[in-house]
Structure 1
């Protein structure tokens, strides 16, 4: 698979460099940048569309929707010749795509810079996991145990929806460079922090930049490569994310024990700086040069404020629950309820007020899009449980330390990584994304179901094989639902759709960690009578309810019958938790066929950003007017 992936990547790097027999010629004066629109009419394309295209070889993949109907992708820009005009499908007037204007070295450098930025953004989610105890001890601040990690994730999730629309207004490159710079500044402050408050604030700055990196890297891939080709690059990004998530705790433990925990942040500085410089000189995307005043006026400030505030309140409520306050406390209930109400207000504003909405609600009018979001939610909800709760199993039940638990999870991370990359190769060769989605959710359901069969013994055959199966099932759905979503939306909404996709996945992971913890804690509380009988009241209190997750070291110190009872209680609780995750994976499997299949064209269209790109085309205005006219006529009748 690795050999095939390398071969296909090489082919992809050269795609479009030689034009081909099907390439359309154009006036060089029009060969500026490329984009896509729902359709192009030959007699009006040059006047009414803000982009140009290059037609490559077509694909033979049938377009089949969830109900068996043929689907036409809004990104499929072909026109049919009139009768007697030569027949067949004629390519639109177009220019040479950016793929043809880049050398293999330039493409390699761009991908290296994008992958390194994404790697660091993913690494900083988990690298502090093994460093936090030392940090808390140095600053003598127990509250930091939760907030060093949470500050990054909260800022990341809250700002994700806004990055896409800002890149539509001001351009991808400027926003990506800004996100990398913010991440670099946050990392520097983290490394130099002299108090817990300073570190937590710096982690929030890091999270803001990291969220922008994750979203904008995905958006840039959609601007750089054709729909058919980009799958392989998204597969590489999924591989990078999985590897970074897996080695984060190990790397953090090495830095903390061998040098200092500050190197968890120092390591970001040279790598992100090098990536920044590469992007400055090599990344070539459309620059709209939007005037600052016009750009600021176009931002959906009210919508942005509502989605950021609502997300933060909701996630704060989840974070506080049973950690700082009881779940039934007024603080937790108010945060969750007001957060959800604020998010509901956000959708009302996006529908009725916003001129350029952060998340266009038209994205949710298509059943296939809703299914793609739902599958992504289920996938993210389950994926994070492997990375987050398997180490708890290794430490509490099998007695591994933090470093060893990071090593033990490698079968899951590596299988996930290689399958993610292999899925990109599959989509490039076949033009199909639905089979990997269904296959992935089916195998994920099987893999997480097998986790229920793990026990308190060192059965390495089970531990390794079950992780590999779960990883094989998890890998395909990092990029496949995103490709499905992008193939179904108007080109001017791809950035917003990608941001919304990232937002849904981020919410899923945040909610999953909390709900998984609640299930685990409730089960530990139910087993308190057994713990009380075997361990006594003091130890039983430490291992019951909300205290259980933070006291795995206590379990490791227990010997004989008390140790067996404690490990059994932990495993029974984790087993119940994985029953829940298996149900969510099965739900994702049931929803997968609703996504349907559309043709993935090899035609590349680079999006022209700026305020003009956000305006509907004449064709779209005509279709909207026709739809409104039909609605009025129907109501009159």
Structure 2
């Protein structure tokens, strides 16, 4: 289990450590206009390849696919640290994303193979704890490396951690591999489905990252890419339904109301969670004039409450069947609604005690739901669909993150601009949060109004999470003794 914890820590650390290194990277390569691609390139490939890992692990085995994901992630990280220009760095981040997209999903798939379902909540709660710790440590390490050594160590740190993870997986994780020749396994892959899904996802994510910043939402480029992405997903559905013998995304999963509810919860939960994660630091940096590192520390009430509640919820469903998954998700979404509702009261004069308390409420709700959908989905489907449902759940949460941040960014930009005098509209594009201390009180107040409007959208996301949880109200923690007897061992 240590190897799985390390993999979660590795993937989560990479997502947070880079943020504080980006300004130094932009300065060295003189490419401030391309800096967003460092994150976007990783996100595009990680999201696009996530669903494929489940089916690949069915065909080739969990362990070989997991090791391949670690190797690709390590290769990408090494190339990132050795990059000599921004183009090389962006391509290297895309390579790391191909591997990183499989790390978290494969961990949950492997847990479903080696841990009885009645105990699975405990271990998945531990994984949530590793995610939270990495989220706290990441920005601090990134700042320290950038200030004291070089930004390249924000990537090089993945190498020793990845090697330890790789070796521990090889030595400690014993899982059977499917029989058959390598060629026979290659033929089983849903190549057309995988290709179409990757292309459609990239076509959809590109306009979501560009809209509201590089291009207006009404720009023909954004509209065309969104339409092409939608057509791509329609073609993907046709391939999965009519062509693929072993589809990446079996359509029968979406016909099951309870499984579809798990996907929907992950989508809206991801929208709310990552929207807060991205926009609350903006409040501290602009309104409170704090540094990026300090604003990361101000997120501790949110992150720690998520970690504590994720672990506690995992223990709860492992030790009792009294509460259904739906009841837990409903209570968590209510806390999210209350917490996000409280965040719209943020102002220039909000005390740190108030802010910490409001973030704590949101974090408790987010943490309650974090592991529940995976546990519920794995308990509902047959064993042959475990990998597919787990990969898709990870995919929908990531897509939720992209949609949530994009929607909040649009709302924020529009409200901010609409409250400025005509001669100042469009000034947000040139605004630097690090100089917010010199900004006029009028601009600061406009930021407060725009952030409050954005946080109101998080209430909507939380409300949709509540509605999506209702079909799971009768789904209680599973106790499958026959399955428990056939569980694989870590020894």
Residue matched to 1:600: 478
Residue matched to 1:288: 178
In 2, Cα distance between the equivalents of 1:594 and 1:497? 17
Residue matched to 1:462: 354
1:449 aligns with 2:333: no
Alpha carbons 1:232, 1:421 under 8 Å: kept: yes
1:366 paired residue among 252, 256, 259: 256
Per-residue deviation, residues 324-380 of structure 1 (Å, max 9, x unmatched): 333222221111110111011101111111100000000011111111111111111
Distance of aligned partners of 1:523 and 1:256 in 2 relative to their CA distance in 1, 3 Å threshold: same
In 2, Cα distance between the equivalents of 1:331 and 1:580? 26
Q: Which runs of 5+ in 2 are unaligned?
A: none
Residue matched to 2:414: 522
Runs of 4+ in 1 over 4 A off after TM superposition: 605-608
2:377 paired residue among 465, 469, 485: 485
Residue matched to 2:34: 144
SS in 1 for 2:32: coil
Alpha carbons 1:247, 1:406 under 8 Å: kept: no
1:565 paired residue among 428, 442, 456: 442
1:553 aligns with 2:427: no
How many Å apart are 1:605 and its aligned residue? Answer: 6.1
Residue matched to 1:402: 292
1:318 paired residue among 202, 208, 214: 208
Alpha carbons 2:417, 2:426 under 8 Å: kept: no
In 1, Cα distance between the equivalents of 2:13 and 2:396? 20
1:129 aligns with 2:6: no
Distance of aligned partners of 1:605 and 1:567 in 2 relative to their CA distance in 1, 3 Å threshold: farther
Residue matched to 2:242: 352
**If you compute each CA radius of gyration, which structure gives the higher value, 1 or 2?**
1
Residue matched to 1:437: 329
1:159 paired residue among 49, 57, 60: 49
How many Å apart are 1:435 and its aligned residue? Answer: 2.7
Alpha carbons 1:524, 1:543 under 8 Å: kept: no
Alpha carbons 1:286, 1:607 under 8 Å: kept: no
Alpha carbons 2:376, 2:477 under 8 Å: kept: no
Residue matched to 1:244: 134
In 2, Cα distance between the equivalents of 1:189 and 1:271? 16
Alpha carbons 1:148, 1:200 under 8 Å: kept: yes
SS in 2 for 1:601: coil
Residue matched to 2:464: 587
Distance of aligned partners of 1:543 and 1:607 in 2 relative to their CA distance in 1, 3 Å threshold: farther
Alpha carbons 1:224, 1:606 under 8 Å: kept: no
1:506 aligns with 2:398: yes
Per-residue deviation, residues 256-303 of structure 1 (Å, max 9, x unmatched): 111110110111111110111011011011211431111110000111
Instruction: Return the structure number with greater helix share.
Output: 2
Q: Which runs of 5+ in 1 are unaligned?
A: 1-110, 609-637
In 2, Cα distance between the equivalents of 1:455 and 1:208? 41
In 2, Cα distance between the equivalents of 1:586 and 1:468? 18
1:219 paired residue among 82, 106, 109: 109
Aligned-residue RMSD, C-alpha: 1.6
Distance of aligned partners of 1:552 and 1:543 in 2 relative to their CA distance in 1, 3 Å threshold: farther
How many Å apart are 1:137 and its aligned residue? Answer: 0.8
In 1, Cα distance between the equivalents of 2:326 and 2:208? 34
Alpha carbons 1:161, 1:496 under 8 Å: kept: yes
TM-score, normalised by the number of residues in structure 2: 0.95
In 2, Cα distance between the equivalents of 1:218 and 1:307? 22
Per-residue deviation, residues 451-507 of structure 1 (Å, max 9, x unmatched): 111111241121111111111111011110111111111110110011111111111
SS in 2 for 1:376: helix
TM-score, normalised by the number of residues in structure 1: 0.74
Alpha carbons 1:127, 1:251 under 8 Å: kept: yes
In 1, Cα distance between the equivalents of 2:5 and 2:164? 12
